[in-house]
Amino acid sequence: MAWGNPEQLALEEQLCEQFNRDNPDVHVKFLKVPGSAYANKSVVMLASDTAPDVLRVDHYNFANLQKKDFFLDMSELAKKDPTWNEDDFFPQTIEECKVNNRLFGLNVLFGGTVIYYNKTMFAKEGVEDPYKMWTEGRWTYKSFVDSAKKITKKDSQNRFIQFGVALPIFPTWTPFVYGFGGVLLNESHTKSMLADPKAVAGLQFVADLRYKHGCAPTPAQAANSAFTFEGGKLGMSIDWMGMTPRYRKAVKDFEWDVVPLPVGPVSGSTIVKGNQLVIPKHTKHPEAAWRFARFITSPETEQQLYVTNRRCFPTRKAVANSPEFLESTLPPTQIRIFLSAVKGGKQLPIDERWAEWTTTMNNELDALWSGRETDAKVVAEHAALAINKVLAEEPGW
């Protein structure tokens, strides 16, 4: 069972057919569910023991569902499988699937955040190419802001016609908190760390893009997709690697490429996250399900998914390091930066209560993003209190 855009689903459907051809003893039926209903439907199916034998869940929901004891522990299946080798995969992709060192999923559609930039616009406005700056080690927060400011332009009636960058929405602003050395939650996930000066610095930096430097649209200006990257009205957009196929399809009249997130005062990190293929605990066909999940994450399939079609990023190091993956004739040409982004990528503190505390946090931070309050410290302190209250409650109330 899966969700996604039509291209994604067509590809997965094709993979299922291929699997059925190669495995005459098993027949996989591919179940498509709209993204908006997916989370609900999978929970209800898992709870009522009617879930398909393999389903894809977003990592945002993985922890929560695992905690409810819906997933099969795959550790034994993996141990019995002679071809299984954890070292084939990027460590974060394995880590996402493990709880208490037991394996509960196989990672797919893994990826991190990068900056997509409009090469044509940079050249036209005479702004130095970010990728060049990055290779020369000059791609810092300062040069990022400078570029964004230079790109931002108004017309003769004093109306904005293009902005340097779109304000990242959660969780894509998290790299800036990490960049200043901040974190979202403490180690044990019991306290919000937003009010910590390092996290505040990150939030302030993001808010300043809009309200101090004026190089990002306000929510009102950005409403109804007035400024989008594919529309050619943004110089840069911070987004997941998975946007690549869409931009390849949608962007026709300008050149674009990717560059890593700029290097912050403390570190230059991005965030990484995948989806997981899971097997319901009470499945009647654990072996067949495992075989299918392994097929979807096999080198051959990854080659098809991520090299030929550039869906996100491979979970296998070998595929990611293969010349076929790293060479690209279509934009983004600098696939190498995906690799570096993933290698240094940090994870989000996703836990069973993720939906709850992030909703609270985003509500509180609205004040900052909308400019009602420009001092990030005030907002962050308020937000931290609210999040702490949520986290202090016994879960489930």
Residue 295 host element (H or E): helix 286-296
Q: Nearer to other proteins by C-beta: 136 or 394?
A: 394
Q: Nearer to other proteins by C-beta: 255 or 356?
A: 356
Residues 247 and 237: their CA atoms lie apart, in Å, by: 11
Q: How far is the CB of 356 from other proteins (least distance, A)?
A: 5
Beta-carbon contacts of 19 under 8 Å, excluding residues fewer than 6 positions away, are 26, 28, 292, 295
Q: How far is the CB of 219 from other proteins (least distance, A)?
A: 5
**In 3-state terms, the chain is what percent helix, strand and coil (to 5)?**
45, 15, 40
Phi, psi of 261 (to 5 degrees): -65, 150
Q: Are 306 and 322 in contact (CB under 8 A)?
A: no
Q: Nearer to other proteins by C-beta: 87 or 394?
A: 394
Q: Nearer to other proteins by C-beta: 93 or 360?
A: 360
Q: How far is the CB of 373 from other proteins (least distance, A)?
A: 11
Q: At what angle do helices 354-369 and 197-211 cross, to 10 degrees?
A: 50
Cα 106-33-315 angle, rounded to 5 deg: 20
Q: Nearer to other proteins by C-beta: 221 or 321?
A: 221
Q: Nearer to other proteins by C-beta: 167 or 258?
A: 167
Q: How far is the CB of 281 from other proteins (least distance, A)?
A: 11
Q: How far is the CB of 152 from other proteins (least distance, A)?
A: 15
Q: Nearer to other proteins by C-beta: 10 or 226?
A: 226
Q: How far is the CB of 368 from other proteins (least distance, A)?
A: 11
Which CA distances in Å does 352 have to 59, 61, 192, 314, 349?
11, 7, 15, 26, 10
Q: Are strands 160-165 and 234-240 parallel, antiparallel or unpaired?
A: parallel
Q: How far is the CB of 381 from other proteins (least distance, A)?
A: 16
Residues 329, 334, 339, 344, Cα dihedral to 10°: -170
278 half-sphere exposure, CB direction, 13 A CA radius: 30
Q: How far is the CB of 176 from other proteins (least distance, A)?
A: 21
Q: Are 183 and 199 in contact (CB under 8 A)?
A: yes
Q: How far is the CB of 123 from other proteins (least distance, A)?
A: 28
Q: Nearer to other proteins by C-beta: 46 or 305?
A: 46
Q: How far is the CB of 299 from other proteins (least distance, A)?
A: 36
Residue indicated by tokens 């010349």: 323
Return residues touching other proteins (CB under 8 A). 39-40, 43-44, 46-47, 64, 68-70, 218-221, 223-224, 226, 355-356, 359, 362-364, 366-367, 370, 372, 396-397
Q: Nearer to other proteins by C-beta: 100 or 224?
A: 224
The string of DSSP codes covering 29-71 is: ---B--HHHHHHHHHHHHHTT---SSEEEEHHHHHHHHHTT-B
Strand partners, 153: 162
Q: Nearer to other proteins by C-beta: 225 or 329?
A: 225
Closest CA to 262 of 241, 244, 236, 240: 236
Residues 60 and 102: their CA atoms lie apart, in Å, by: 19
